[in-house]
């Protein structure tokens, strides 16, 4: 099967997995059309993020890996808007965090079946609930990989924006197959600018607007930026095991 045919099959099967998942009686969250992307592990930005301690390296996690297959699973707009209008994270928003995790597991299994069917190797990159308490971030970020793949942009508190929207989950799998475009050769100022686009939003440094400060229920945002420890402490009241900002998401809509 040629690469383009394989990609069409993958994308079709992922859409089918989302539709089938939403037929379950225990699922209340609605999801939009999934976005699928591919990125080479040889992109120099992975090397730089790893060297600077911002992210694990895909080759460190799975040495045979050559391509990361990525997907973005957007929440229904009503869920996002209701969370924006509420003073604290809504029950539906928090529920969507968990249900999107379950959906990602189903999508991963679908991707695995397609890739193994081609005789290729494939692996998870993380368990999707790992958390580094010292640095208040995930050990491995699918969002960095998706940004490198050109699927969207990083936003406040490590959020991810796709086509101007931010409510959803990013996930993926790594395979030894070569399905991504050859990475761009970047160095000097071009590489530095590319890294700043990835890293700067995740440093949580200011300036932050009055509107952004006002929406934070944990009091973690000031004009100077976002206090990671305060953010994590508040999010732990919503998810004791993995206090990711995604369980709150109140500041995600800002740039």
pLDDT value of residue 106:
97
> What would the pLDDT profile of 6-59 be if each residue is shown by its tens digit?
999 999 999 999 999 999 999 999 999 999 999 999 999 999 999 988 899 999
In degrees rounded to 5, what are phi and psi of residue 52? -90, 5
Distance CA 198, CA 205 (A): 13
Mean pLDDT of the 90-108 span: 97
Alpha helix segments (H runs only) across the chain: 3-21, 44-51, 58-61, 77-85, 91-116, 142-148, 188-199, 210-215, 228-236
Considering the entire predicted model, what is its pTM?
0.94
pLDDT value of residue 108:
98
Distance CA 119, CA 177 (A): 9
> What would the pLDDT profile of 102-134 be if each residue is shown by its tens digit?
999 999 999 999 999 999 999 999 988 888 888
Q: Tell me the pLDDT of the chain averaged across its residues.
A: 94
> What would the pLDDT profile of 222-231 be if each residue is shown by its tens digit?
998 999 999 9
Alpha helix segments (H runs only) across 87-227: 91-116, 142-148, 188-199, 210-215
């Amino acid at each position: 099967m040629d690469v383009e045919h394989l990609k069409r099959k993958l994308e079709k099967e992922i859409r089918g997995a989302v539709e089938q998942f939403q037929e379950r009686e225990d699922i209340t969250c609605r999801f939009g059309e999934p976005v699928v992307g591919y990125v080479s592990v040889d992109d120099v930005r992975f090397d730089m993020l790893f060297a600077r301690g911002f992210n694990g390296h895909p080759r460190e996690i799975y040495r045979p890996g050559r391509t990361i297959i990525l997907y973005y699973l957007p929440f229904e707009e009503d869920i996002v808007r209701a969370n924006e209008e509420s003073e604290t994270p809504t029950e539906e928003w928090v529920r969507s965090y968990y249900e999107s995790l379950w959906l990602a597991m189903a999508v991963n299994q679908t991707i695995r079946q397609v890739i193994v069917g081609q005789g290729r190797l494939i692996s998870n990159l993380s368990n999707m609930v790992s958390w580094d308490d010292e640095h208040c971030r995930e050990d491995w970020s699918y969002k960095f990989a998706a940004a490198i793949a050109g699927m969207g942009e990083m936003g406040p508190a490590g959020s991810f924006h796709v086509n101007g929207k931010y409510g959803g989950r990013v996930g993926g799998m790594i395979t030894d197959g070569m399905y991504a475009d050859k990475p761009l050769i970047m160095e000097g100022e071009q590489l530095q600018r590319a890294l700043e686009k990835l890293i700067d939003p995740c440093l949580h440094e200011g300036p932050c607007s009055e509107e952004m400060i006002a929406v934070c229920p944990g009091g973690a945002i000031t004009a100077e930026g976002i206090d990671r420890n305060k953010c994590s402490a508040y999010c732990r009241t919503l998810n004791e095991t993995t206090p990711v900002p995604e369980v709150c998401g109140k500041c995600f809509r800002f740039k």
